[in-house]
Amino acid sequence: MTKLLLVIAIALSLASCTSEKQVAEMLKKNPDIVIDALKADPEKFLDFLEDLTQKARELQAKRQERKSKQEVEDRINNPLSPEIRADEAILGPKDAPLTLVEYSDFECPFCSRGYQTAMALKKQYGDKIRFIFKHLPLSFHKNAMPAAQYFEALRLQSVDKAFAFHNKIFENQEGLRKGEKFLQDTAKSLGANMAKLAKDIKSDAVKNRIAEDMKEAQSFEMSGTPGFIINGVPVRGAYPVTHFNMIIDELKKAGKVKL
């Protein structure tokens, strides 16, 4: 009843110059008003509450959209600058006007959505976008770090093999439950040099590479996964393709990119 009174109080205060406190006090003193109204037409009252809830959600969505656009505009003028190393694993032309960097965790279910978004953007923009995959394995995903090490060890053999591994893992995340065997079988299926792979997985070069990615992600306040940076604009979370399209449109309007 207390929650119901609060909803009614808010609704009435929005419809008149009466304060929420005044309405709430009135209803607490005279609860029969609500009870009589419910008895008279409970279905109509429920419809009213549902409509109010829907309007509140729409209002919140519009506020979030305005906030998001403002954040995009601010970051366009003050872009983040992730490091792109000389031997970076890049999918797409190195001189593409759009650069999508992802900080990801192979075991994170939301990163599976991030993978789908990244591939959809690659398909949509073709040679106008380059995709760079970086690592942010979370401590509570036990297979995330080993998978990241396999990716980096494969990169030392072939960028194509590394991205093929990346795709296979995200397209069959459940296989990670098998642990090391699944990672080995996936690498073998790609024709990897398994002796070299076993050596490189434990190397300082691979461990340091992942540590660099994690440090960079943290410097950009990427605490969860997935996290993206598209032409300097951060996206924290598994947002849909439409959100990235909005950012790209804003970049074009600001004259920061030509497609």
Considering the domain architecture, whether residues 169 and 234 belong to the same structural domain is answered as yes
Residue 85 lies in a domain: no
Domain that holds residue 151: 90-253
Last-in-domain residue among 77, 109, 132: 77
Considering the domain architecture, whether residues 129 and 26 belong to the same structural domain is answered as no
What's 78's DSSP letter? Answer: S
| Average confidence (pLDDT) over 63-83 | 81
Residue type, 200: D
Considering the domain architecture, whether residues 154 and 216 belong to the same structural domain is answered as yes
Considering the domain architecture, whether residues 94 and 216 belong to the same structural domain is answered as yes
The residue to which tokens 């999508």 are assigned? 100
Q: How far apart are CA 65 and CA 231, in angstroms?
A: 20
Considering the domain architecture, whether residues 21 and 113 belong to the same structural domain is answered as no
49-58, 96-105, 196-205, range with the lowest pLDDT: 49-58
Instruction: Check whether 20 has a pLDDT greater than 70.
Output: no
Q: Which residues share a beta bridge with 236?
A: 227
Structural domain count of the chain: 2
Q: How far apart are CA 44 and CA 42, in angstroms?
A: 6
Last-in-domain residue among 21, 44, 77: 77
Q: Which residues share a beta bridge with 131?
A: 91, 100
Residue 259 lies in a domain: no
16-25, 40-49, 65-74, 101-110, range with the lowest pLDDT: 16-25
CATH code assigned at 226: 3.40.30.10
45-59, 114-128, 242-256, range with the lowest pLDDT: 45-59
Please answer whether residues 187 and 176 qualify as being in contact, where contact means their C-beta atoms are separated by less than 8 angstroms: no
| C-beta neighbour count of 104 within 10 angstroms | 30
Residue 203 lies in a domain: yes
Average pLDDT, the chain: 87
Residue 64 lies in a domain: yes
Tokens linked to 70 = 């403002």
Last-in-domain residue among 11, 42, 77: 77
Q: Which residues share a beta bridge with 132?
A: 90, 101
What's the start-to-end Cα distance of the chain, in Å? 57
Q: Are β-strands 98-104 and 227-230 bridged in parallel, bridged antiparallel, or unpaired?
A: antiparallel
Name the pTM for this structure: 0.75
pLDDT tens digits along 210-258: 999 999 999 999 989 999 999 999 999 999 999 999 999 999 999 999 9
pLDDT tens digits along 148-183: 999 999 999 999 999 999 999 999 999 999 999 999
